[in-house]
Structure 1
Amino acid sequence: MGQYDIYLHSHALFWFITMVLFVLTVIILKSGKVRLARIVQMSLRGFYILVLISGFALVVKNIWWGSILKGLFAIWLIYVMEMISTRMAKKELTMKSSIFLWIQFIISLLLVLYFGYLI
């Protein structure tokens, strides 16, 4: 098992934990438990940083157009996840902006998965 595999597996684990924390944040915010949601959201932000660091290390180890493009889509996905959770916490998420952000979330997630696993 090489050093690249360690980065790859830790990156995949960080993404999995990030997605679980994002879903938990959305569920907790919908239930109205703001204090608990803040704690989970701060943990989520910590995992955003871990995902970005491990992803950057993977791009540096294996530079090619697909990994750079996946990185850009991943940054977009993290941005959309943060916008959804922050606007939900501040109760600024209208129906129109909610639909727009969730569509962006789905598109960016599919692009990240496509470039991460199929290319």
Structure 2
Amino acid sequence: MNKTLSLLGMAMRAGKLVTGDETVLKTIRQGNAKIVIVAADASDNTKKKYRDKCSSYNVKHIEALDRDSIGRAIGKAERVLVAVTDGGFAAGIERSLIQSSEVESID
């Protein structure tokens, strides 16, 4: 889990991570999102919205972590939603999440 959080922080500093509902949706629609992470403590509506959106645009979707740890990792207030736009960071984050047991679902 610590590796996942540090990768999120590095992606943020490298400018390869977007956050916020509208920005993440736009990134998915433009085909730039490599992986979308929805906090495990997000609302059911938010989880469903992004599960469906990622599915229709064929983007990897993970429900994991919590809003506090995501926010701390990227140096922001609580965050429920982030999209990684770099394939290398996305692959590393996915690998580290699969190795930990923090994942609720990966599509």
State the TM-score, normalized to the length of structure 1.
0.27
User: Which protein shows a greater Rg?
Assistant: 1
Q: Greater RCO between the two (CA within 8 Å, min separation 6)?
A: 2
State the TM-score, normalized to the length of structure 2.
0.30
Bigger helix fraction? 1
